[in-house]
């Protein structure tokens, strides 16, 4: 069985095995480090995008017209001599309820303490003793 394997092929196989065992850990570390570098590059790109947005926002806030517009919208400021009006219920149709009322029980039990009557009037099931 072993007579067909020559010494030369055994030496080559042993050399290739030793070479594979020797090169496997550095190759694995190389690919792990490449993945880590790509991850860091993605983080840097995200940070640069955030920095660019912050710089654009800083430029906007350095404009006096933008600051005045934001003060009007966010803080409801007006310039001297102007009048501000607040319209209540804008956008609602006539007859539209503000919010639905709490459901009230149809039958309030009699002969129980007042606090249980109050609780039963707002609960969906009546409280009985």
Find, among 127, 122, 123, 92, the residue nearest to 112 by Cα.
127
Over residues 89-98, mean pLDDT: 67
Calpha distance 129→126 (Å, rounded) = 10
| pTM of the shown model | 0.46
* CA gap 11, 17 in Å, rounded: 10
Length of the chain: 129
| Averaged pLDDT score across all residues of the chain | 84
Residue 60: per-residue pLDDT: 95
Dihedral Cα 45, 46, 51, 57, nearest 10 deg? 130
């Amino acid at each position: 069985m072993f007579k067909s394997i020559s010494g030369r092929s055994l030496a080559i196989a042993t050399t290739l095995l030793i070479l594979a065992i020797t090169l496997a850990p550095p190759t694995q570390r190389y690919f792990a480090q490449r993945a880590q570098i790509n991850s860091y590059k993605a983080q840097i790109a995200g940070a640069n995008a955030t920095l660019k947005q912050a710089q654009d926002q800083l430029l906007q806030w350095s404009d006096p017209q933008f600051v005045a517009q934001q003060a009007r919208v966010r803080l409801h400021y007006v310039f001297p001599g102007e009048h501000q009006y607040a319209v209540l219920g804008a956008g609602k149709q006539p007859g539209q309820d503000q919010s639905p009322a709490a459901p009230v029980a149809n039958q309030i039990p009699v002969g129980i303490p007042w606090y249980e009557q109050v609780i039963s009037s707002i609960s969906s099931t009546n409280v009985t003793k």
